[in-house]
Amino acid sequence: MGWNTYHQIVTELSPTKWIYSDFTTYVITHNKSNSNKQIIFTDVNPIDLLEQLKQQDGKDIWICGGANLVQQIMRADLIDRYYISIIPTLLGKGIKLFGELPKEQKLSLVRTRNYNGIVELVL
């Protein structure tokens, strides 16, 4: 995840408990922070980090992040499956999730889920 996503989690969404305690989390940032066994802060290029992680033992890699991070990984064609959560709020302005793509990408709907007023698309 990127710094903004991390910061929102620890200051607004779950300030008293790390909600991804079952995972090793990599926070891609230029902010200097102390890493621990569970949360690793790094300024490594996200594409290079993904390539390194793919060479290691473990399960799938889950990207939880904002538009900037997602766009970088999309351009490198490293996303196998998209989980897109739609929250019924029209912001009016902000960063486009996918930005401009170099070419059209066809996706297939795998499933949907509706919970707590949120619709999740798995593509």
The 3-state DSSP class for residue 39 equals: strand
Q: For residue 38, how many C-alpha atoms fall within 13 Å in the half-sphere facing its CB? A: 8
- Between 94 and 115, where is the model more confident? 115
- Could you report the per-residue pLDDT of 23-71, keeping only the tens digit for each? 999 999 999 899 999 999 999 999 999 999 999 998 899 998 788 899 8
CA distances from 39 to 7, 10, 66, 117, 118 (A): 12, 12, 18, 30, 27
Per-residue pLDDT of 79-110, as tens digits, reads 999 999 999 988 888 888 888 888 888 999 99
> What topology is assigned to 3-122 in CATH?
Dihydrofolate Reductase, subunit A (3.40.430)
Residue-level pLDDT at 18:
96
Quote the pLDDT of residue 92.
Answer: 86
Ordered by start, the domain boundaries in the chain are 3-122
